[in-house]
Chain A
């Protein structure tokens, strides 16, 4: 009787979780395995796959400018994310005082994040336009030379970083701010009693308490930035000379422009181990 009711209870648990489990197996595990296994096949448009071993990887490594995908991932996820998180921390600390207009500023700060990516990329691309954009027109008025922002590798990738910061900085600022506000006031009061100055308070009290949140946010942001497709695709499409491409845009390019699906899958296989390791690290940290 007891076992029967327990089985019944488990059954209901499984049935209720079933929709998600099905989705997870069919549309997360299966595609992941598919990506991994198909990367060893030559699969052109409209043909059935042929096993070719590591040919796709060799093809990719010999493809001109594929090495930029690694560099750009490091720039966007390594430099971009950390810069953004650092700025977000400063902003959060600054905002963690009562002042007039805080609510409205907080509401306004959410706007870049509330707006969908494509429209905001539209406006950035228009502002950065080499000939008619806002920046270059202003430069011209001030007698400065025009800069083709999206036409030079260094500035194009920097602009991707700037856009990224522009879009997500408010989000992480508010995230860290919420974390800061959950720190009990008593801790600061006892620090005041000890005669700690502002810097000591921040370094000894605030930072250790906010550190777990900061690390988790950084890891999350790193993973999502590594997988970001839209920013690069709408902003630069990989130009100039395919140098601003990241793995996701290369994969799209190989699949639908070069019509080589095998290479597209292989592109992701370069990225997968990094992502999986980061996710495992993160899952350990988050626990439950």
Chain B
């Protein structure tokens, strides 16, 4: 190998140095220029509080005596809250506003950090392993909660939840009661914030090709009408179903699939949390669901690209008017159009609840998402106090601020006209989208998603993302549906054995 000495002349040396300095200067200037100004104001306001807290040995106790004197909500010091961002800016704004309002009212500081939704779970795991955890974390991808509870990483929140337990929508409690394998007991480990189920959205004009105005509620009528419209619209490149198929999607495919299994009468786990996959009825439901879902793709009712969609892929397909109908958790699609184009929201699209099963099974599967308090959280009392105040004073404002994407978990809040009637004005007396989800969840039998009640199920459906993978094997590897179903169900058995 060559041994020639390499020489850099002085000019280049100087250039490189100057370049580094310039970039550093720009970076530092940019950083200071863009620090949000309101934070500086906040620190000024809070200086007093901060110093008080810092100078006392046991902040919590002493602060409590202060509360009695001043009769305002407890000053419990700061806390760290992680929250997720999806693509809907309103969600972030609602969370920020709620936190600001809490800070203004109590003088307690909340260190709020946002993460892209799919980053939250890995970062939480990393933080727990590093023993440097925040206090409150979102259970946005809901399989996190039962798994952390099982691993003994969550703080019991019964005392917080007790305060509004009677106000909870029935069934919600099942989605926050988890088993802790270290304590060998169940407890309430989350404050439930939202409910959502699989919904379907339609473009009115595309669907009109079926000859109907709104889809029937029975399975065959519902799907055959869309397929009928598809036969006409496909000539313009518009597909029948904007359903994601691939496993890049962390949650949508799984939820839709589980809902289909339920509609076919399948119960993957029994009410007492035993795996139920050997039940012929369940097996049959899983096979039918696989046949149905992969069939839609193979027969060309779903765009080819659906195998690469993430959780936003179905949203995008709908937004760009490439599909007649789309299935999606939460009301994120109408929420988008509400902020983007109200005419579209009120006049061009509509939302329908999931149809009844082929044999009339009306059950809906609900995801329950909430907020978790970690066992090793540095500011437990502050976090609990925050949750109490939040649920009492800011919850309603917050969930309405989420643009109706989710249904509240509190009866008193879901009765609000915002959820019952939607966003109506005299000019637009009917909201064709928003009230569908709360009404469906109130009028039809609701079961919590299996993955929000059992940690093993949570692992298989969550991180292992079994359903889209099984479907992809059928689609791309040509595996027979029976074999694929068998393999998937065996996977459940294997993992359930690890969680005894």
Mark A residues whose CB is within 8 Å of B: 44-47, 62, 64-65, 129-131, 136, 145-153, 182, 236-243, 253, 255-259, 261
Contact = CB atoms under 8 A, between A and B. Distances in A.
Which of B153, B246, B491 has most A Cβ within 10 Å? B246
Interface in B297-336: 303-309, 313, 316-317, 320, 322
B151 A47 contact: yes
A71 to B, nearest CB: 12
A152 B476 contact: yes
Nearest to B464: A258
Interface residues of B, number: 41
Contact of B468 (A136, A241, A256): A241
Given A45-B128, A46-B128, A46-B151, A257 B121 contact: yes
15 contacts: A44-B151, A46-B129, A46-B151, A129-B308, A130-B304, A136-B305, A151-B304, A153-B477, A239-B308, A240-B308, A241-B469, A242-B247, A243-B472, A256-B122, A257-B125
Contacts of A257: 121-122, 125, 463
B236 to A, nearest CB: 13
Contacts of A237: 248
A261 B122 CA distance: 12
A189 B65 CA distance: 97
B247 A131 contact: no
B126 interface: yes
B200 interface: no
A256 B248 contact: no
B304 A150 contact: no
Interface of B is mostly: helix
B469 A242 contact: yes
B248 A131 contact: no
Nearest to B147: A259
Given A240-B476, A258-B464, A64 B487 contact: yes
B153 A45 contact: yes
Interface string B446-479: 0000000000000100011110111011001100
Nearest to A62: B494
B304 A146 contact: yes
Contacts of B303: 130-131, 146
B71 interface: no
Contact of A239 (B129, B147, B153, B248): B248
A241 B247 contact: yes
A258 B463 contact: yes
B270 interface: no
A190 B108 CA distance: 86
A240 B2 contact: no
A62 B495 CA distance: 11
A151 B302 CA distance: 14
A241 B322 CA distance: 25
Interface in B117-163: 121-122, 125-126, 128-129, 147, 151-153
B82 to A, nearest CB: 15
B246 A240 contact: yes
Contacts of B153: 45-46
A151 B305 contact: yes
A130 B312 CA distance: 13
Contacts of A129: 305, 308
B139 to A, nearest CB: 15
Interface string B160-204: 000000000000000000000000000000000000000000000
A257 B303 CA distance: 29
A240 B151 contact: no
Contacts of B308: 129-130, 148-151, 239-240
B487 A240 contact: no
B126 A256 contact: yes
Contacts of A259: 125, 147, 151, 463
A131 B305 contact: yes
Which of A62, A148, A150, A182 has most B Cβ within 10 Å? A148
Given A148-B304, A239-B246, A45 B316 contact: no
B304 A147 contact: yes
A126 B316 CA distance: 15
Identify the 3 closest CB pairs spanning chains A and B, nearest first: A130-B305, A151-B307, A241-B472
